[in-house]
Structure 1
Amino acid sequence: MNIEDALLIGDLTEGTVIAGDKGLSREIASIEVMEVPEVISWVTPGILVMTAFYSIKDDSDKQIEILQTLINKGAAGIVIKLGRFINSLPDSMIELANKNAFPIISIPKEVSYINILTPLYEKLYEEKQQEQEKSHNPFHEMEHANTKFLSDAIEKISEIVNSSIYIEDTEGRLLYISNNFRPDGWRKSKTLFSKPDYQSYLKMLEIWRVEFLNQTYTLFKIPGFRNRLVLPLISSDKVFAIIHIQYMNPKYDEVPFVHAKKLGNKLSELFMSDQLYLQKKRLNDMELIEHYLADMKANETSEVMAIIHFHADWLKNSHYPSQFLIDHSCLIRKELLQLAEHFRENDLFIFERYHKFYALITCEKQNYPTMVHKWKELLSNYNQRNDLDPLKLSISSIMNDSTFFEERVQSVTKTMEIGNKVKPSENFYTYDQLGIYEILINLTSDEYAKRYTDSILNSLLQYENNDLLETLQVYLDENGNITKASEILFIHRRTLTYRLQKIQELLNMDINDPNNRFILRFCLKFKELS
């Protein structure tokens, strides 16, 4: 409690700061009523002195001396009844208080000391009790924080223990993680739903599930790494998730039962609240997409839309049949929304189709190339931070008519499938780049196209030396550059030249002719996609 706080308590609210108002932040450690002028023997730092100056009412020099002593001793301030024995203070006393930012508070003569002292004593006692509790409860600050979101609570705990915090489900899948995560002996990856790297993690999870039937937390130590508190998150008497709190300070080795339980309960409530919020956000986005498509159809607009499709193995957890209230789909949406925060200037909605995740994003037509480039950079940065299971992304062409919405969803899904097939090492695909492959794939069911391709390549496919097909492919990919092609194939230039001559004989085609190269590229790609 400081002077400013005290002025809001009990009858001290009747007081007026007449000097030293810049020192209102001075902390009050104790309160005493001064009856004798010899203060030097009993004044202590942080004391708030109350007096009417009865014994020195006619000695202004003594009043100033007492004030100087209080300042020198580090007192909090002085409360003086004016109008009873003295009506005013010397100007030099006011000047001294202002110079040292030492509060002088005047109270009316009719105010009783007891009506000031009692509530202030109660407040000091309450604060001392809280300090004592805090010394025994390392998570006291967290318990009393007005935290509304689970992610904020995780960061707060991480700040308290100065270490990584993360939450896993009962099978070890990662659900939440603090911003300061560092790989440790339990897990290396911070990818959503990734599993622990600890060799016996399944056995440990089973041990903890049993221990949590009778206790509120357990301690876990891995040689060479930070120790950790492991707390269960519980709903309806069932453990649905586990929080790992790493620490170095030995005071966390013995967290009182009641405080561990309070912390676990608070985090469980925040987890459930977060799930509910994310579910509502999903329903709200679905409604907004419907309204947006309807408005676009009814009204002319300069904006265009594109559909984005997200793909990664961890996205498949959206339909994981989890027990005990964890909605994995909502956590995926949360992860994707965080990635999309960089597009605040655009309307963006996350939605799902058959357990696949998409986003509808708007932009001005001329800004579409910039938007695509920005997504590519974001994806690259994201995958550098989460390299265990990279996220892939495909973007549709633009549309300004909502009639084509479902068509674009199918198209961007097909673009992802084609990208995974023809460019599996890449993570970013656009319809502009891969749309031609969709045409080729559709042609693979055309009988005339099949017969044409076979007539061109059969003589080469049936030849006993299978290296010729690969040689032709590399040679065409390198635009006829013999030096580069031979380096890629790890063969001598003469060997490559011999193979190319043999290929021309079998195909009965001049492979240096641009038209023939086009035909061969088409046929090879057709075979690859068939």
Structure 2
Amino acid sequence: MQATLTVSELLKRKNFEHCEVVAGKEGLERRIKWIHIVEVPKVEHLLKGEELILSTGVGWKENEEAFSSLLQQLITRNVAGLCIEIGSYTKSIPSSIINLANKHKFPLILFHQEVPFVEITQDVHTFMINAHYEILARLETYSRELQELLLATHDLSDLLSHFHQYLQETVVLRLKESTTHIFPPFQQNNSKQWSIIHKSIIDDTYTESKKISKKIQVLGKEYGELYVVVKNRRFTEENMLALDRTALAISQHFLRNLYIEEKKKRCENEWLREWIRGEVSLPNIFHKLGKIDGLHNYEGGGVFLCRKQEGVMWEGASFSYAKLLLTTLFEQCGFLLCITEYRQNILFVFVNKRQKQTWRDRFTQSLERFKKSEAYEKHAKLFSFISVGSFVDRLDEMEKSYKTAQITADICSEQVSSSETLFFHDDLHIYRILSLISDQRALHEVIFEYLNPILQYDKTYNGKLFDTLKTYLACSGSKKETAEHLFVVRQTLYHRLAKLEQLLGEDFMEPRKRMALEFMILAYEQIFIKKKEEKFPQCSEIEG
């Protein structure tokens, strides 16, 4: 049962016993989605297409030009047909109107006796509503059966066979890896049948059969396309809805397989940990990656990490989904991504499969796309701090990338703005030097030599000279910008700068001394402010 009628089917229903089709007999197979009563000459903007129009002709009466204009509007809007009651307002149909309707195969139907339009609309609308209800009931049953099959089987063929039985039409699933499933199956030597199906799918101009299709997508990745091929009939709304439901079930099938693969990967965690500790040889790395990815041509890689935080969920189905999505997004941008947990960190080992020169842009693109997903929103706190180690050319040097990712996390967790979320070791610059020498006593002495005068002044008088110096240097000596950043008036800033000249010397903005001061400020923050429990050493402690 379909939720629409053709014009020819409508003519067999009640109130159409004495009607006459005076034009457009070749268009009687037009479909009717709804019925409207129209008595105005300008209706084009009110129509959606495939309506059947009922009218007494009061809108144009004997005005042939107005009648012609109305008919042209109906034809333009792909209306199913026009029914006119001959009587008080319309005595006859001009030949020009009949010719126009015939030209466009537009059904023109006359009622020679008075008919109750309200009964026609009630009859047809009731039929359509009931038909819609039956379709929805069948689709609900079909969807439930699909879900039951999905839980009971691991074979795509069962889903496709059920779809074919429901539609009684040819069903084709073309997957990206060039596998094609066809139902009902046919003999391999039946080249004629295969030719028809093949042309129906790839050739939009092929007229012997028609097709509708739906892409199969999982986590933004396209796996293939599902087709329905029919001959000698048009597609119905039910066909479209059944196609959508089946495509969704097939997507769920692939998503389930991804979850199974994810579970298998968890068993490989120990191998990944050995890899980032530098305990796996290069041949073994290639062998293992070949089994996972099927390729052996890699262009370096690296490690990035997220640190586990107390109270932040990083397990369960939603986190598994987040990892699946990340893996898929990185794959689309040319990376193989392996994920493991190690020493209170979530580690992501990425292997580059494209040109090395573009790795960083593609890496950033993958994470930006992930941030737009619901999976990211659910785990935003976990991914709020991502540190990326150095990119390594050799995959057996992944330990170096892991260690630099740790260094990046240690440095940036205290030294960067909370609005930032992604940090590359290659961008640390001066902080990389500080991380190498932060344990040297000599550096402590130099920091004390440069900064102790203003630190002691701040401790005694709360003069805020350290913050003033830091901001003044960051603003390249601009007094106006410095005052704005510190939220002080110019006079207050001038007084502080005069005190800085007194304590540091009038030449403290001379290029070499300025560079040294900037370095000492960074070193002081890196070594002492970061370790809040550690006091800045006094002069006696340094000298002793």
Shorter-normalised TM range: 0.3 to 0.5
The TM-score with structure 1 as length reference comes to 0.45
